[in-house]
Structure 1
């Protein structure tokens, strides 16, 4: 009788038996499979995975070089693709010193050969410092640029985000993703705002830049979704920093300001122009109520609307709950605050109280002195002869009288 041990010893003694046995088993398995499928010619199964598609990085680099040279050399690119549109935008705005450095692929290459890469880009708008951002650039299978985007927290400049309308004067620049007619409207608002601000403060070399993105302010400013949904416009540094002296632009929310009539829209733009003229986005020495209230004072200075229109929200609150016990601070000016608009009205009325008590120049002096770092109490005493407690009392009384 054969035992397992004797069989193993024979196999170990004759290695060729293993090879012959394996060949026989494989042949039999193939024959059985052939018989079960009905015979015929054997066909190898088709691979289930498609061959890998590689990114055309050489083509991408060439497209970036073409974009840069188009902006630098003033050469127009044919067509309506993203690169050609960006070059035309850059020429209209006056963009200078453009560079584009390919960094790395971002994600997988699609089956159609399209893909995206991180690209470090720099540029300079006349009057501004050079800006550098790492943006996301889309490419097609041949490496042609298909579009630009920005990661969360990074600003995407309007000249790279689609066609824009540009309006320029000696003191204003409007870059708008709007129709021709709407761009003309913003140009008029900007010019009027400069003139109105100069009637109150010394803006010797005015420069007001309006940027009007098509889709709200959050993406344009690299902010979390919903941050600026209810904000008509915001003045901020071009690079997102808080460094004093950094040029400021005004970003306009079309979803909000588009619903305003001409006087209302003008108030918004003049308010923001006041911030731009006084470096309000980088000067944090002033109390918030004075920064915002003074900007509204300038914007509403020549408005002849009743208080029911210019201060309706705060007066409604006073009728219901009485006047606030303190001037509005940073917490009240939160863009997500339930009573966001009322705080601006309250701050404006505080400045109205001051202008009525000491005149417009005294209010301007207070704004200037606090901006230089002089304490509010000291500056109030110097310009008006009373301090913050007296101002608060007069302001609360004015609110109560106006709400009656």
Structure 2
């Protein structure tokens, strides 16, 4: 046998073993990843026992990536679920699922929000469920009595919002009540300072008719400071945002969306402009008449609370003026049009005017109703 052939006889088996090992490693990795995905799928077919009282459907984890680390693994996944009777499309939540090898099989050992993703209410503790006629209230760290009182308030707010907004909507609302303003901020993914002093906020994407139902999130500390009348106003305001969500878009000026929500909340009540717009009344009496309708930037959280109050109050009085002078149906029509056409076009087609003309009428009403010198 020639030297060359003897070399090939010795080297070829080595090359073959290297090639086989190289082909086997990806196959083994693929098999492990498949087993991990199957373990997550099997584990996620049934919601955890602590969520048994929540009306859930379509509960599933969709794994997008798998990372091995020794005898453990982490699966990045998107949780999809619906609240039965409330969500028209699956809600989503980015999650990390931890797994470990147990007797040669992968088993789920933990589940948490993915880095940077906000938690779900049940991540903050056991969830108490209270059902109302028009509301589903979910609370963590709150007494059943508190949740029942909020459900009763929501049951009054939903018909009030529906009376102001005749457009199509679900006519029901989901209310989340975390244990503190800090917990509220965690759910919303924002600093707690932005929500101090507020009674509630609404989540959701504007102009997305097929999106899941909005959640009204209550700040328990701000809520506790409100009077009974104040709680009704706050919750009706937020429920009105839920009702009008599909008609609201990035085109809709905030003075119209926030003013309409306040108009719905105060509609039919006995509060006067002096009573319901104290911050703006003080400014007008000082001779500080607003030069223009509130700009979108005036509604930013975390700024001057007095300026924020003036923006909300001025917006309410603008919508109140439109409803009183041109009719409630005209205000509703303006809202619908402003979500899909320029404001100038919407005003021309509804009140037959423009922004400067509306601003002058609004300023005159502020002088008259707020006692300007």
Same fold (TM over 0.5): yes
- Counterpart check, 1:361 vs 2:321: no
Bigger radius of gyration among the two:
1
Match of 1:299?
Answer: 265
Equivalents in 1 of 2:335, 2:221: separation in Å? 32
Residue 163 of structure 1, CA deviation: 1.2
Alpha-carbon deviations, 1:285-334, whole Å to 9, x = none?
A: 22211111011000100221233331011111222352110000111011
Assess if the C-alpha contact under 8 Å between 2:247 and 2:336 holds in 1. Answer: no
Does structure 1 residue 162 correspond to structure 2 residue 125?
yes
How far apart, CA to CA, are the structure 1 residues paired with 2:330 and 2:37? 59
- The within-5 A match list for 1:284-363 is 284-338=250-304, 339-363=307-331
Q: Give runs of aligned pairs for residues 350-389 of structure 1, distance below 5 A.
A: 350-373=318-341, 375-389=342-356
Q: 1:395 aligns with which of 348, 362, 368?
A: 362
Query: 2: CA distance between counterparts of 1:281 and 1:213?
Result: 29
Query: Which secondary structure state, in structure 1, belongs to the residue aligned with residue 298 of structure 2?
Result: coil
SS of alignment partner, residue 199 of structure 1:
helix
Match of 2:61 in 1: 99
State the alpha-carbon separation in 1 of the partners of residues 77 and 249 from structure 2.
30
Q: Is the 8 A contact 1:122 1:130 kept in 2?
A: no
Deviation (angstroms), 1:194 = 1.1
Question: CA, structure 1 residues 276+132, in 2 after alignment: closer, same or farther (shift >3 Å)?
Answer: closer
**CA 1:260 to 1:147, structure 2 compared with 1: closer, same or farther past 3 Å?**
farther
1:210 aligns to what?
A: 175
CA 1:253–1:150: 2 relative to 1, 3 Å: farther
Structure having the larger proportion of residues in strand: 2
Residue 238 of structure 2: aligned partner: 272
Per-residue deviation at 1:272? 1.1
Aligned-residue CA RMSD (Å):
3.4
Greater RCO, 1 or 2 (C-alpha within 8 Å, sep 6+)? 2
Aligned partner of 1:47 in structure 2 is none
Q: In the alignment, is the contact (CA less than 8 A) between 1:213 and 1:252 conserved in 2?
A: yes
Aligned counterpart, 2:148: 184
Do the aligned residues in 2 keep the contact of 1:235 with 1:251 (CA within 8 Å)?
Answer: yes
Answer yes or no: is 1:124 the counterpart of 2:81: yes
Conserved? CA contact 2:216–2:239, under 8 Å: yes
| Equivalent position SS for 2:60 | strand
Preserved contact between residue 212 and residue 251 of structure 1 (Cα < 8 Å): yes
Which stretches in structure 2 are left out of the alignment for 5+ residues?
Answer: 1-35
Figure out how many residues of one structure are paired with residues of the other and give that number. 322
**Other structure's SS at 1:385 match:** coil
- Conserved in 2, the CA contact under 8 Å of 1:208 and 1:273? yes
Map 1:230-269 → 2, pairs under 5 A: 230-237=197-204, 243=208, 245-247=210-212, 248-269=214-235
Deviates more, 1:127-136 or 1:214-223: 127-136
Task: Verify the 8 A CA contact 1:292 1:348 in the aligned structure 2.
Answer: yes
Gaps of 5+ in 1: 1-59, 72-82, 110-114
- TM-score of the two chains, using structure 2 as the length reference: 0.74
Q: 2-side partners of 1:166 and 1:395: how far apart?
A: 44
